[in-house]
Structure 1
Amino acid sequence: MTGGLKVDFGHVPVLLEECMEMLKLKNTGLYVDCTMGGAGHAKAILERTSPHGTLIGLDQDEKAVETGRERLKEYGNRVTIVHDNFGNIKEILNRLHITGVDGFLFDIGVSSYQLDHAERGFSYMEDAPLDMRMDVNRLTFTAADLVNSASGEKLAEIIFKYGEERWAKRIAQFVTEYRTQKPIETTGELVQIIKAAIPAGARKDGPHPAKRTFQALRIAINNELELLESVVADAASFLKPGGRICIISFHSLEDRIIKQQFQNLSGLCSCPPGFPVCTCGKKQILKVVTRKPIIPSEAEVTRNPRARSAKLRVAERVLNSQEVE
């Protein structure tokens, strides 16, 4: 969901050609873009499956839904747009009476619109209310609520687990000390606390000192990783044989989960070494297509620096046992 700096829902689709190739698009296929964002990937799918291909576009951000409806209106009834979280993919597809899908696309993480509109509270580069909710209509608990109510131990756990921040305990300590004087209400306040907590020498190199903490809070508020763990299997259960699931991630925690879920669904035995007979009962549902993730070319990163950390993993639905026989 990474994009350009625009007043509207800016969107430069990441790994576009790679995604289109890996989806193995058919002009009669049904595809689901589970993170529609600025509709860049969705539009490309519709263009390349003309005239009969159809698409379901999901997004939990109301602004993305509005943008998608506007940018995809020319495709008429070939498009169905749903304002919902991809974690509810089973319920959404059942509600639409969908039994088989030719391909799923996920572009995980925060969108450029959310980063570039300071009032959403995702960016550590501008001062704004500390919010970070992707769905402001359905979520009531903000990042400000979290940093002002969680214990120091819980904050440290969140920042370390979801941000992989080595200074997590110290940042949590500084946060809890600061809030005894006044509540933390803005991104600017939190950035200053983080900078004070991380020793100057550790802030000289690498990313912005607040990057990992902001990432951690965003993931916690929106329950991102837990949803990702379950949605891979949910999506796979709707894939037609030969259909593919393509997932773009932007940091190691997401990529690790995707890789693990693909492996779990590939039927690899998980019994301890030396077991004479397999007892785990795993069955192959997916075949991993990308043993190593696909990454953007240097040319794409030059055009769109936010694509730098993107990784694309792809898996394909295998024939079920009845079809094999």
Structure 2
Amino acid sequence: MTAALIQARELRVEYPGRAGGRVRALRDVDLDILQGETLGLVGESGCGKSTLGRALLRVIEPASGRIEFDGTDLTRLRGRRLRRTRAELQMVFQDPFGSLNPRRRIADIVAEPLLRARGATRAEAAKAVAELLDLVGLGAEAGGRRPHEFSGGQRQRIGIARALASSPQFVVADEAVSALDVSIQAQVLNLLSDLVRDRGLTMLFISHDLGVVRHIADRIAVMYLGQIIEVASRDDFFAAPAHPYSRALLSSVPVLRPGDTRQQEVLEGELPDPANPPEGCLFRTRCPIAIERCRTHAPELREIAPGRSVRCHLPLVSSEQHLASSD
């Protein structure tokens, strides 16, 4: 069993709400991200995906809970120790233009993590920047230009080069290809996959696009209203999702195959207000198989088979079914 590089336990993030109240963006999240894997995080807009990614990097401060990175409790780090550890944790943002300073040269943007976090000399940084720009397919000559001179896909490659500059162990890619054309998406996804393989990176890949996640992820985690509701290997998830919400998400993905007879499952209603969530199971107001117990008892995230967990009283895949499908 591969060890976990990132572990979140009972992680909670709250934002100020209306009339002085508090809104829970993350609700006691437990999650392991294994060394060297790409974990795909999916769910509707507003479910807490980006908040979780930022909380794991301490960009957002959790209200409570624990985050461990390679055995170190990040929630206890302050000052210089936190800054030094953050060099191991980087992020690739959704907007490749908005995340780059338009007034600075690309070489300076990519060099900044080397100079600040790693204490490199100017000569060392210049050499490393040239190597990184070559690595992401832009060439060292790109360092003298500014962000507005590049296409969206090229700017995202610059963002990836900047994220890699401090030689991190863990990278959060937050909707890193959603702003790109489909043809460019494939190039950036292949680049990220190659970097994970060749550099031994561990990555949390956040996306609303299940087709993209299927291409790049080793395991899938599904979020709903600030909770993790299912975790499974990519193959198990796409073959037979165990949570009713996961099945509805998967059914919404177009499949252009002759003879495909899959029925689309349409969820009733809207995502509940996070400031006023339902009692019991958070998904019960939209769930097609909800029972009385769903209203009175909130389900726990429990393992139904090795490597597979679900937060549901009536999982659609039992441990016996899982074992049978694996044989």
Task: Name which structure has the greater RCO, CA cutoff 8 Å, separation 6+.
Answer: 2
User: Hey, which of these two has a bigger chunk of strand by percent?
Assistant: 2
Give me the TM-score of the superposition, normalised by structure 1. Answer: 0.28
Give me the TM-score of the superposition, normalised by structure 2. Answer: 0.28
User: Hey, which of these two has a bigger chunk of helix by percent?
Assistant: 1
